[in-house]
Amino acid sequence: MFDKILIANRGEIALRILRAAKELGIATVAVHSTADADAMHVKLADESVCIGPPPARDSYLNIPALLSACEITGAEAVHPGYGFLAENARFAEILAEHQIEFIGPKAEHIRLMGDKIEAKRTAKRLNIPCVPGSEGAIYTNEDAQQVAEEIGFPVLVKAASGGGGRGMKVARTADDLPNALATARSEAKAAFGDDAVYLEKYLDKPRHIEVQILGDGHGQAIHLGERDCSLQRRHQKVFEEGPSPALNSSQREEIGEICAAAMRELNYKGVGTIEFLYEDGRFYFIEMNTRIQVEHPVTEMITGFDLVNEQIKIAAGSPLCISQRDVILFGHAIECRINAEHPSSFRPSPGKIDYYHPPGGLGVRVDSAAYAGYTIPPYYDSLVGKLIVHGRTRTEALMRLRRSLDEFIVDGIDTTIPLFRTLVRNADIQNGIYDIHWLEKFLATGGLDIA
Ligand code: ADP
């Protein structure tokens, strides 16, 4: 096992990793930009190193500064969290060249899944069901028209290097297609420096359901059930729950085993998420994330396993110590992503938190690095924290969520807590009847009565 690890991230996930490391008896090194000198992960770590000025490219994405921090402190491994360098295969390779362990998958698997076209090809080869679409990248309008006619309109133009819901455009008819291609290409070029795009059948009313997997790189891999992340705004997840209200246990086992078998075939190492759209009883692979995800606590609450702890042990070379039979789902968990944003306009609201009172009690977990007097800097994402509740049933989880949201106080900035207070009282949410378009429609039709 490692003696010391460096956490190459900030905010709630840096704290989350720090907690897992402490429980394993591993010393922790926090890194921070000058804007984060007062951050909670810095205060709680055994050591900390300032790695640069506020912009992420000069600090949290600054590989030479991170290497120096490892060298100065003698950290043997780096946990990248999510975002920043978590899916940067080159970073994993550079660390290996310096005899530092990357707490994540093999570089080849990060690279493979980072290219969505390659990822889909691989998924197909591994018998994972995919969304119908183009075989590879689409270069001309003529090729696009031909594929679109084969799969049928509407179609979705997607960026091969896409992420964060960017570089995606719907074409409802053949007339829309040239424009959708051009816009997706230029958005992809600007956001990812790569204008390769591909085509997919646009599903009209799917749910987003993703399977959590864990592999040890020694040939073993298991699944830990699914999360339903259908409540989205601008293709970004807002509220996640598990198990999915749309699946029964045999569907759950079937898709879980398909994913676990695929990961055994790949000899995948670490945690990963295989994302699907689910419509009319069928699953369609969209992508795989080769890192810990924001919504991982949902799975932890229903399985009782600490995914970050497992990640660290696997990176240290241990074989998997959980078998598929040990994974017994218990009850229901729901997560709300609480952002420093206005609850209806979603305008970012960085600034000082004057008063902070998180909820507590049975089945309530708050993953946050916020505290009273903390100033949320304007440079990074707007996540203030995640409220996760667990109950024996979905009804109990919802009841607990309503109570916890009413108890949660974050004064001084705008947060999305009022949005969740409305959602938890909505009949569709209570009945679990929603697809990926539900939230946008709800917001557009004035469902949210917040000034
Ligand atoms: P990103 O990597 O940018 O997050 P994904 O491929 O994971 O992109 O898709 C993000 C979201 O976009 C999905 O959860 C879903 O809401 C929507 N989406 C993606 N592909 C399709 C599709 N073929 N049809 C309908 N919606 C889609």
- The answer to whether residue 291 is catalytic is yes
* Cα Rg of the chain (Å, integer): 21
200 lines ligand 1 (CB under 6 A): yes
SS3 143: helix
% of the chain exceeding 90 in pLDDT:
97
Report the distance separating Cα 434 and Cα 195, nearest Å: 33
CA distances for 269 relative to 4, 105, 107, 233, 265, angstroms: 21, 5, 10, 31, 11
pLDDT at 451: 66
pLDDT at 447: 79
Per-residue model confidence as pLDDT tens digits over 51-96: 999 999 999 999 999 999 999 999 999 999 999 999 999 999 999 9
Pairing of strands 383-391, 364-368: antiparallel
198 lines ligand 1 (CB under 6 A): no
Yes or no: say if 401 and 336 are a contact pair by the CB < 8 Å rule: yes
User: Mean pLDDT for the chain?
Assistant: 97
- 449 pLDDT more than 80: no
Query: Is the four-CA dihedral 17, 23, 24, 27 of positive or negative sign?
Result: positive
Ligand 1 atom closest to residue 204's alpha carbon, by position in its atom list:
25
41 lines ligand 1 (CB under 6 A): no
Amino acid at 166: R
**Would you place residue 302 in the very low, low, confident or very high pLDDT band (cuts 50, 70, 90)?**
very high
> Among residues 16, 166, 207, 291, which one is catalytic?
291
Bridge partners of 239, per DSSP, are: 231, 336
- 163 pLDDT more than 90: no
**What is the average per-residue pLDDT within 416-429?**
98
- 450 pLDDT more than 80: no
**Would you place residue 41 in the very low, low, confident or very high pLDDT band (cuts 50, 70, 90)?**
very high
199 lines ligand 1 (CB under 6 A): no
Q: Is the peptide bond before 319 cis (omega within 30 degrees of 0)?
A: no
